[in-house]
Structure 1
């Protein structure tokens, strides 16, 4: 399926001379037949856009084509242009670290930024995880305001991805805060995908008349929409399987009763699943007929062709070449992606300032 030119995207990765993976591979334990999918395009040779980062976690595009990026442990926000010019524009207040996966997580530019100058951040605070709104005038961040709180935090399993959907509403992923039963509790904001208005209120049409859009999630860190507006989610599993899910409102995605596909009534199976050593997914992005999924423990980029509601055979790229891959986003108006590493995190694989933003064109 070719992506319409208005939605064409780009991929960021670094280091010349990178070789592709060994070829297509089936995913163990997946029960969904996907048929045959043509690879419309594949990642080409990568190039470095910017170096010297420390755990760049969130990335969102401004209308002028530059990006806003967050550093998780430093609580700082930067602009980064496509020619690699980096500039700090502020530090988000009230952020705390959990000495694990908490801190300043993702960022989302308002779809009406030219009019309202709003940007949104999700972060860990003293009381728990929260979503806040700030103004950005093109030079500096200001006017911090909490729009959603009451999301439990933990050292691990904080979720943390926020994005505006094609419907204009803000979506957020939340982890189970290492309390698995919260994922099945529809009154809790943890272990969920949330959908809200720009003011942080339940969006019209939400299935439970609350912020909750879907539930039964362990630690989702990636969401994206395909060319038809379907919502896809990447989720870190426990000891067995990580997941790629097609999200529908009100559906139960199984955790903790199920990890990967299962036969429990009322649970929604993933479209694809991976052994945790091959994935541990963070961000996902859609480009030119495929979902791209950045893998942390798996240290590779997965390409999963999608056709309607089915997901084809995944293929891995750049395995163990760049370390932990955190955030992947399509570049507006191009057939490219940007990709960040987070080797300077608590994995012990890198020092502060050792992370990179890459670009790869789809060929």
Structure 2
């Protein structure tokens, strides 16, 4: 046998345990929320960054289709001179970042197919699963390493995070045994400003798992690039996974950080009730016992559970965002958008810009929707502005570019598009650049 190829090499840093933590039983109800045995100090402080002052508008940007003809793109990350993009039913493509910033109507073949689907061992694509999140090592290109979250089928459906060394073309498992299903696979990964790898996982259609700290479902992980627990993580007890930072999530698909390094997560709710949360270490975000306010007809109220960490946004039982990828825009190229949290909406076919201000502060709301119910997170108050509603269809992710522009990924060929989509151009990577009137 010749030298091992990337198709055959997968270090066994952790075997696939797709059923780990399933002792609670499928879809069993939980009576109380799980809390860690020891919790790190919460270093929350009021924002040092200036809360967003402007009211964002579609007129602040010009839009250009940078790449057309993609097949259900899922994630995008810029690293040095490169841009890496995943396609849910495919693999990983690499584009030149400068080309994406200047050219239009590129085809997928204008990039490099770095990894095919078959290059990822045991890879499967049931329903909403497949090749999902991607990020690059913080020291890229000196450490030429990518991290990829994808769905596997090796006796059972699960999810796995691997590292990929671009020089040796080898893969190593970093986080394995993540429960999977046709939906609710989570999948977004990123490196935080603390240098740790953050991973969000879904409940794999089994809500009870989210209250089991050994199940690896419905959780936010914080770990080293080698897959070890990050220093200072909560202690979830003997059977808990020390790599877990928070739990009680339903299907998070977006994670970003404030300029002070505080993590923000967006997740899909049940029949609306979508949420954006400012995470606290060791926090339990309530699923599936808690999911709303005191007037919610189906779920418990955050106000009634001391152990539940409330979100800054809960859209309520009547409004659906279906949030996916998010970004904190701290660039100054698009001035009115500065310091807003941008949230991509799938079912809502929209981009949301969230203004976050210390509770009680007064800033111009414009025509935004203010989330200030007393049972929500009292550290910050959010106002949401709706942008591009219905213009591009389903939006999967938003990513800031190196030059301060923004990039949107559509998801119109995933079988769930509304009337008018997909178009002949779908799926697309759309570049948002400052209009002359919005520049400083």
Counterpart of 1:227 in structure 2 is 259
Instruction: Give the CA deviation at 1:40.
Output: 6.5
Count of paired positions: 323
Does residue 285 of structure 1 match 2:354?
no
Q: Pairwise mapping of residues 144-159 of structure 1 onto structure 2 (< 5 A)?
A: 144-159=171-186
Q: Deviations over 1:130-169 (max 9, x none)?
A: 10000124xxx82011111010110000000000000000
| 1:250 aligned onto 2:282 | yes
**Pick from 298, 307, 327: which aligns with 2:348?**
298
Q: Which moved further from structure 2: 254-263 or 279-288?
A: 254-263
- Highest relative contact order (Cα 8 Å, sep 6+), 1 or 2? 1
Larger radius of gyration: 2
Query: 8 Å contact 1:52–1:356 — kept in the other structure?
Result: yes
Q: Deviation at 1:346?
A: 2.7
Match of 2:132, SS state, is: strand
Q: Which runs of 5+ in 2 are unaligned?
A: 1-50, 104-109, 237-241, 294-300, 330-337, 359-378
Q: For 2:129 and 2:252, how far apart are their aligned partners in 1?
A: 14
2:163 aligned residue: 133
Q: Find the counterpart in structure 1 of residue 291 from structure 2.
A: 259
Q: Distance in 2 between matches of 1:343 and 1:111?
A: 31
Q: CA distance change for structure 1 residues 352 and 88 in 2, over 3 Å: closer, same or farther?
A: farther
Contact 1:69 1:80 in 2 (8 A): no
Cα displacement (A) at 1:38: 2.1
Partner of 1:88: 113
| Distance apart, 1:312 and its partner CA | 2.7
What TM-score do you get using the length of structure 1 for normalisation? 0.84
Whether 1:38 aligns to 2:53 is: yes
Rounded to whole Å, the distance in 2 between the matches of 1:289 and 1:40 is: 11
Task: Please list, as runs of the form range in 1=range in 2, the aligned pairs for 1:69-218 lying within 5 A after superposition.
Answer: 69-81=85-97, 82=100, 83-84=102-103, 85-91=110-116, 92-94=119-121, 96-127=123-154, 128-137=158-167, 142-208=169-235, 210-218=242-250
Checking the alignment, whether the CA contact within 8 Å between 1:106 and 1:123 is kept in structure 2 is yes
Describe the superposition over 1:269-309 as per-residue Cα deviations: whole angstroms up to 9, x where unpaired.
Answer: 11012257531000000112110000000100000012354
CA distance in 2, matches of 1:200, 1:239: 34
Q: Which one has the bigger strand percentage?
A: 1
Q: 1:240 to 1:89 in 2, by over 3 A?
A: closer
- Unpaired segments of 5 or more residues in structure 1? 1-35
* Alignment root-mean-square deviation, CA: 2.1
